[in-house]
């Protein structure tokens, strides 16, 4: 009976030990599964956060790129509109200037024609007065000759002598009067030409002043716009560099903080697992102690089995710790690989964004250089056209002055010829009267 009781006790203790071992294995597997589930959940959550941040960065980058493209198109449209409006305004001002010039030329031509007509009218009146005076004089002479024919015959010799003297005096006075008239008319013509030259120079100086002021305003506005664009670009580059540096520092701080939090959580979990294991070992040791106290007789026979079990337990714990270390190292390696991939992706995105910014800056500089070249060429072309126009205007004014001078000289020559003809007819009339008087006598 005692042997049966001993066998029953040993069998029950062995069965209880197997049951405890099986419970320990189940508890250990459950802990490992819980740890794996928690770690997988944390890793998936962290990967989801990284994915959300990457998606957010991509959306912000695309939004920035689309906005910059829209702003560049808008700036180009504004520049084209400004150039078109300036060209349209220049054409309107050119048409107004041509209309004003045409009106001024018409006024000048009308004024000169009126002045010439007035001068011709004065000359015509003077010729009419001379002719009337000549006709009245001829009539009075004829009347006196018919009345005093007898007296003239007696005093013919003395009258002839006095007539010769008077004729000489008249010729001298007439030559003096003609020279005075020619001098006065030439002085008057020179004075009129001087006035016209002064008026033309004043008009030319006012027009040149207006064109120079307009060109200076255009150049100053262009210089101000170029300075504004250049300063805005420099400020934008500085702000972009500061933003990139700040973002890199924030990303580094975030990586450091996240790595620190992950390491802290892993350390806490590891510490909790060691605490659970220590409490479990304490419980097992307590149970063993109770069993040893109850089975003092069985201890001697099962000492070797206990030692073997203890050695296997130590080997199992060592393998378990090694497996945990390997699992933590493997999970850390996977996390570091994912972090390195994300860092590489972020670096690629940053490099693409920087290259895009550099291309955008180059395109802006190129478009600005093209705009400056076009304006410079337009200014040079306008300057050449202005020089051609001024030279043509100067030549036209010279030709007009030469033509008007020739016309005035021609008119003066024709008037002189008319005066000479009138004088010759007058002399011929006097000689015919004298000849008829002498013939009648």
Q: Tens digits of per-residue pLDDT, 173-196?
A: 787 778 787 778 878 888 888 887
Predicted local distance difference test score (pLDDT) of residue 295 = 67
Average pLDDT for 354-371 = 79
Question: For 34-67, b where at least 16 C-beta lie within 10 A, e where not — what string?
Answer: ebeeebeebeeebeeebeeeeeebeeeeeeeeee
Predicted local distance difference test score (pLDDT) of residue 48 = 85
**What is the chain's Cα-based Rg?**
63
269 in Cβ contact with 43 (< 8 Å): no
153 in Cβ contact with 441 (< 8 Å): yes
* Cα 105 from chain centroid (whole Å): 40
Sign of the alpha-carbon dihedral angle for 27, 33, 36, 41 = negative
- pLDDT at 143 exceeding the cut of 80: no
Q: How many Å apart are CA 67 and CA 61, to the nearest integer?
A: 10
pLDDT in tens, 253-300: 777 778 788 888 878 877 877 777 777 787 887 787 777 777 677 667
Q: How many Å apart are CA 219 and CA 376, to the nearest integer?
A: 10
Report which of 352, 432, 413, 350 is spatially closest to residue 138, judged by C-alpha positions: 432
Average pLDDT for 391-401 = 80
pLDDT exceeding 90 applies to what percent of the chain?
A: 0
- What the block records as the tokens of 241 is 């560099």
Q: Could you list the beta-strand ranges (E) of 164-307.
A: none
Q: Give SS3 for 148.
A: coil
């Amino acid at each position: 009976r005692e042997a049966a009781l001993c066998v029953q006790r040993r069998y029950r203790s062995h069965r209880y030990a197997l049951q405890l071992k099986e419970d320990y294995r189940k508890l250990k597997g459950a802990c490992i599964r819980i740890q794996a589930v928690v770690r997988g959940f944390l890793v998936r959550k962290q990967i989801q956060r990284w994915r959300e941040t990457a998606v957010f960065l991509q959306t912000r980058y695309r939004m920035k790129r689309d906005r910059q493209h829209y702003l560049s198109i808008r700036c180009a449209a504004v520049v084209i509109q400004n150039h078109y409006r300036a060209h349209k305004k220049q054409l309107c001002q050119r048409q107004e200037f041509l209309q004003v010039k045409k009106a001024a030329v018409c006024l000048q031509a009308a004024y000169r024609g009126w002045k010439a007509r007035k001068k011709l009218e004065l000359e015509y009146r003077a010729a009419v007065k001379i002719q009337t005076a000549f006709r009245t004089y001829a009539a009075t002479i004829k009347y006196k000759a018919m009345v005093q024919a007898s007296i003239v015959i007696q005093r013919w010799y003395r009258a002839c002598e006095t007539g010769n003297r008077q004729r000489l005096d008249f010729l001298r006075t007439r030559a003096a009067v003609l020279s005075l008239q020619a001098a006065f008319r030439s002085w008057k013509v020179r004075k009129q030409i001087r006035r016209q030259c002064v008026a033309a120079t004043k008009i030319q100086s006012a027009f040149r002043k207006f064109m120079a002021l307009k060109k200076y305003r255009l150049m100053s506005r262009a210089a101000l716009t170029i300075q504004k664009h250049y300063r805005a670009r420099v400020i934008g580059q500085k702000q972009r560099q500061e933003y990139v540096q700040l973002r890199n520092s924030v990303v580094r701080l975030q990586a450091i903080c996240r790595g620190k939090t992950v390491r802290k959580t892993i350390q806490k979990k590891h510490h909790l697992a060691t605490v659970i294991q220590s409490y479990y070992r304490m419980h097992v040791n307590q149970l063993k102690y109770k069993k040893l106290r109850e089975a003092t007789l069985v201890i001697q026979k099962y000492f070797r089995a206990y030692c073997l079990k203890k050695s296997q337990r130590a080997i199992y714990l060592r393998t378990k710790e090694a497996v945990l270390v390997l699992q933590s190292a493997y999970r850390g390696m996977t996390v570091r690989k994912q972090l390195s991939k994300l860092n590489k992706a972020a670096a690629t995105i940053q490099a693409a964004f920087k290259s895009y910014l550099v291309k955008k800056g180059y395109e802006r500089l190129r478009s600005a250089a093209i705009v400056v070249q076009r304006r410079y060429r337009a200014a040079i072309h306008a300057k050449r056209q202005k020089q051609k126009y001024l030279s043509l205007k100067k030549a036209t004014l010279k030709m007009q002055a030469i033509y008007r001078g020739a016309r005035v000289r021609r008119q003066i020559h024709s008037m002189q010829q008319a005066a000479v003809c009138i004088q010759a007819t007058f002399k011929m009339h006097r000689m015919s009267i004298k000849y008829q008087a002498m013939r009648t006598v």
